[in-house]
Amino acid sequence: MRLARTIVRERVLSREQLAVELAVSPVTLDMYLAGKRLMPIERQLCLAGVVISTVPRFKLEAYRLRDEVVAMMERNAARS
């Protein structure tokens, strides 16, 4: 999860703040950041929304993530 790593690495949001925004524990966030666990699609959508609304510097990346997630959701819905 490149965008989440960037947000934490560049100290835009602390690890704890980002965990709260994503409604996950800091331990779960650490697993996402380390690549030990995949971030669920709804948490990715939440991440995009948080960044779009609070971090103007990374809006473009967040819009891209949101569009990718929406496209993935649409593909999954079409398969059902």
* pLDDT tens digits along 20-73: 999 999 999 999 999 999 999 999 999 999 999 999 999 999 999 999 999 999
Closest CA to 32 of 7, 50, 55: 7
Whether pTM exceeds 0.75: yes
The full 3-state SS of 8-60, as one line of letters, equals HHCCCCCHHHHHHHHCCCHHHHHHHHHCCCCCCHHHHHHHHHHHHHHCHHHHH
Question: Does pLDDT of 79 surpass 90?
Answer: no
Q: Where are the domains of the chain?
A: 2-79
Q: What is the pLDDT of residue 1?
A: 78
Task: Give 57-64's long-range contacts (Cβ < 8 A, gap of 24+).
Answer: 57/12, 58/3, 58/6, 58/7, 58/12, 61/2, 61/3, 61/6, 62/3
- Decide which of 1.10.260, 1.20.1070, 1.10.10, 2.30.110 is the CATH code for 2-79: 1.10.260
Q: What is the mean pLDDT of residues 8-16?
A: 96
